[in-house]
Structure 1
């Protein structure tokens, strides 16, 4: 069985870390935890990586990310004001 890349991202006025590096071809999970009650950060989405999820306060939310294709893929808050990036190599 292949291991899974697990990345924890803290959401508190920004994404920390804001750049996530993943290995191509290895399944990946991003776990977002919002720890500050700041409006538009209650949703995280990525057209590139095909996910959108609500982020309830202090509840970890995990999304699966396809790592089939190398490249840089953006994710952002509901209003596209705060941004992060997934880099697949």
Structure 2
């Protein structure tokens, strides 16, 4: 009889641990995912900031808020990244950027009059 109880207890413990391990492993993956850096860019006659510096491979989310009512600033273009987005007045527009390699990526309004730069710097070894 004691062996039966021992087997039941061991079986219950193994089942409980097996059920927890996948959840713990999944939680660890979530914790290791790099955080997304959010940067607000106000559009009001110019981009503020007009120069953004991020690290190579960093996950970045740009939140454009257009205050300007000029038709010139109604869209933002990242030509090198193939991104073109409308910017309605007083409505935030989020642009998720892919992990980028080191370099300079220009962005501008649809008329190419208002300009900014996204500089991606190499990570130090």
- What band does the TM-score fall into relative to the shorter chain? over 0.9
Number of the residue aligned with 1:37 = 69
Secondary structure at 1:48's aligned position in 2?
Answer: helix
Task: Return the structure number with greater strand share.
Answer: 1
**Map of 1:51 onto structure 2:** 83
Query: With structure 1 as the length reference, what TM-score do the two structures score?
Result: 0.94
Q: Deviations over 1:35-65 (max 9, x none)?
A: 1201110000111122110000000001111
Q: What is the match of residue 84 of structure 1?
A: 116
Q: Does 1:2 align with 2:34?
A: yes
Whether contact under 8 Å (1:31, 1:61) holds in the other structure is yes
Distance 1:50 1:24 in 2: 19
Answer with 60-69 or 13-22: which moved more.
60-69
Unaligned runs of 5+ in 1: none
Name the Cα RMSD after superposition. Answer: 0.9
Structure of larger gyration radius: 2
1:82 and 1:67 map into 2 onto residues whose CA distance is 25
The structure whose RCO (Cα within 8 Å, separation 6+) is larger is 1
Gaps of 5+ in 2: 1-32
The TM-score normalised by the length of structure 2 is 0.68
2:56 alignment partner, one of 24, 45, 49: 24
Would you identify which runs of 4 or more consecutive aligned residues in structure 1 move more than 4 Å?
A: none
